[in-house]
Structure 1
Amino acid sequence: MKEIGEFGRFQKQPFFVLCLLSATFTPIYVGVVFFGFTPEHRCFSPGVAELSQRCGWSLAEQLNHTVPEWGGHGTTFGSRCRRYNVDWNATGLSCTDPLGSLAGNRSSVPLSPCRDGWLYDYPGTSLVTEFNLVCEDSWKLDLFQSCVNAGFFIGSMVIGYMADRFGRKLCLLITVLINSVSGVLVAFAPSYTWAVVFRLVQGLVSKEGWLTGYVLTAEFVGLSFRKTVGVIYQLAFTVGLLIFTAVAYVLQHWRWLQLAVTLPNFFFLLYYWCLSESPRWLITQKQNDKAMEVIKRIAKGNKKQLPLSFQYLKSEDDDGEKLKPSFLDLVRTPQIRKHTCILMYSW
């Protein structure tokens, strides 16, 4: 790399497009903040709207007369998850004190769960408002994000092995394709269950695609630039966070937001023509001819002259076995054991 350019023009172009991949990973990592936004909500009570219209109440008056006080009647759910168990269509209800005209004392009016759904003070939609993931079902929103994290965990081991076994470029393209398709399916999920399933699939491949892009950037540059490209690659994630926040501000309907942040991923399939396989990986797989083709393209792109001694890449064990990846590689030498332990502790 010192001879053909550690971070020249040839490396900067693929590095830029890989940074775009890093930026689009944000919605999967923190998207639940917007997709699963929980607005202020209250039980829907049949007849309240008609009574409010007849009495000419403002919204504040309607809430005061028809919604239980937070934490009242010894319940831990409060007004968001309980309603007064009364018939608001009953005749003779007072507009000044409707509950008093029924029971004489508001505290004696029985409460019941929200059998008829909820009303949300939000102009858009989210997973919470569409599938009513509140009160007794609020745990389902946590499950939605936990499935993504479970996918990260499983996929990191499986896809990481595949990248070492079958190549970085192939692995990247496969994860991009699956991530794009599953992201679209999330946007069109007919139910909460299907949304969780498709989100789990996204978790299985999305972070692993991001990590594979990170590996490619590190293996295409010289040692002195590895820290720089690593930091910039993660800065691209932060830029993606800012852009995602702006898009979420404009698109307040979670399905449209999901589509808006997913469709650009299909353009990353063009990496098939834009990216080369890692020459370092090709050498470990004894594919020296292909590695030399990549090295020559790097030298030509950086306008460097390939030294004569590098014209033919040879190795003493060309006819030996390919280096096969193994989880034991993480602890095989004292130096790598130290790095593995440090990184595990940091995470």
Structure 2
Amino acid sequence: MFSKQALFVLCLLSAAFVPIYVGIFFLGFTPEHRCLSPGVAELSQQCGWSLEEQLNHTVPEWGGHGASFSSRCRRYEVDWNATGISCTDPLGSLVGNWSTVPLGPCQDGWVYDYPGTSLVTEFNLVCEDSWKLDLFQSCVNAGFFIGSMSIGYIADRFGRKLCLLVTIFINAVSGVLVAFAPSYTWTATFRLIQGLVSKGGWLTGYVLIAEFVGSKYRRSVGIIYQLAFTLGLLVLTALAYAIPHWRWLQLAVTLPNFFFLLYYWCLPESPRWLIAQKQNDKAVEVIKRIAKGNKKKLPLSFQNLNSEDEYGEKLKPSFLDLVRTPQIRKHTFILMYSW
């Protein structure tokens, strides 16, 4: 029973990791857009144009050519506020020949065909600045890379539970700061911090549940832990559909992380880690708690485990452990190549 409860609460953590991993698809949604041209709205109202007529008359290469770079990132360099503009041939009445109409950049911003907001629409991450959206996600991935290595060491050095709680707290705080960030630079910075701790925290949760159960069940709990991630994808999609504004969506997927701080009372430290650190008394207490929760009788070998059982020195984790033996070295390189 204890193992099932521990698996359930850690699966919630796995599902909550989804918005950081793939949230860019909703937070950074890029809708159809075109240059904002002053005077076009007033002219369209005077001429009684439909939206389609307005676009065909005032947006370069609109219509048969589809949404091209010109229609999204260029505008006609004409004065739509001029007098005497024809409603049937506005460009012809302004410049005479369509082929000579100059095109310019979107100096006055863009119009987005989207009822909500996203990172793209708020910070205008389109056209010449579209690379900033890729940089935003690259910050997350860079955080994943650094955090997965450094937080793994922290979990081995200071314990799985402490590492899990610290990463949860930092992830929750930085996620809220993303929602209230005043500029693109601050948004990317706080997202980088989320990347630094979130993937490492997710991996720590995986290690913790694997060490709570016997080797017979490790494969099963690992699969279930991954399935929770898939369930999180469905929940995120539903939330994104219901909340079309990226700041509110960011808050909605971040605030539940604060509830995970209750793991301080719900989850014990890994008994395997405690034994490796020669903290046998604490390990026995955790094992008794697990046995009681599972309604199992504690084996005699564990009952006799105490602090006087000293078998060698306390284990000290090192990055060299990843390549210390031929078997571990082979597994390390295979996993690196797979990722």
- Choose the corresponding residue for 1:343, options 312, 319, 335: 335
TM-score by length of 1: 0.94
Residue 66 (structure 1) aligned with residue 58 (structure 2): yes
SS for the counterpart of 1:215 is: helix
| Aligned-residue RMSD, C-alpha | 1.6
Separation (CA, whole Å) in 2 of partners of 1:319 and 1:331: 24
Q: Post-superposition shift, 1:312?
A: 2.0
Q: Post-superposition shift, 1:291?
A: 0.5
- Choose the corresponding residue for 1:196, options 184, 188, 193: 188
- Decide whether aligned partners of structure 1 residues 167 and 178 sit closer, same or farther in structure 2, where only a CA change above 3 A counts: same
Counterpart of 1:89 in structure 2 is 81
- Choose the corresponding residue for 1:238, options 230, 245, 258: 230
Counterpart of 2:178 in structure 1 is 186
Q: Which moved more, 1:238-247 or 1:298-307?
A: 298-307
Equivalent position amino acid for 1:255 in 2: R
SS for the counterpart of 2:230 is: helix
CA contact (8 A) 2:281 2:307 kept: no
SS for the counterpart of 2:75 is: strand
- Decide whether aligned partners of structure 1 residues 240 and 275 sit closer, same or farther in structure 2, where only a CA change above 3 A counts: same
- Choose the corresponding residue for 2:128, options 129, 136, 149: 136
Residue 108 (structure 1) aligned with residue 112 (structure 2): no
Q: Post-superposition shift, 1:313?
A: 1.2
1:162-177 to 2 correspondences below 5 Å: 162-177=154-169
CA contact (8 A) 1:169 1:277 kept: yes
Counterpart of 1:327 in structure 2 is 319
Counterpart of 1:6 in structure 2 is none
Separation (CA, whole Å) in 2 of partners of 1:141 and 1:71: 27
Q: Post-superposition shift, 1:162?
A: 0.2
Separation (CA, whole Å) in 1 of partners of 2:138 and 2:300: 55
SS for the counterpart of 2:205 is: helix
Deviations 1:141-175 (A, max 9, x none): 00000000000011111111000000000000000
Residue 156 (structure 1) aligned with residue 148 (structure 2): yes
1:211-290 to 2 correspondences below 5 Å: 211-290=203-282
Q: Unpaired segments of 5 or more residues in structure 2? A: none
SS for the counterpart of 1:119 is: strand
Q: Post-superposition shift, 1:107?
A: 1.5
CA contact (8 A) 1:71 1:79 kept: no
Which stretches of structure 1, 4 residues or longer, exceed 4 Å deviation after superposition? 314-317
SS for the counterpart of 1:96 is: coil
Counterpart of 1:57 in structure 2 is 49
CA contact (8 A) 1:184 1:263 kept: yes
Q: Which moved more, 1:295-304 or 1:248-257?
A: 295-304
Deviations 1:49-80 (A, max 9, x none): 000000000000000000000699xxx83110
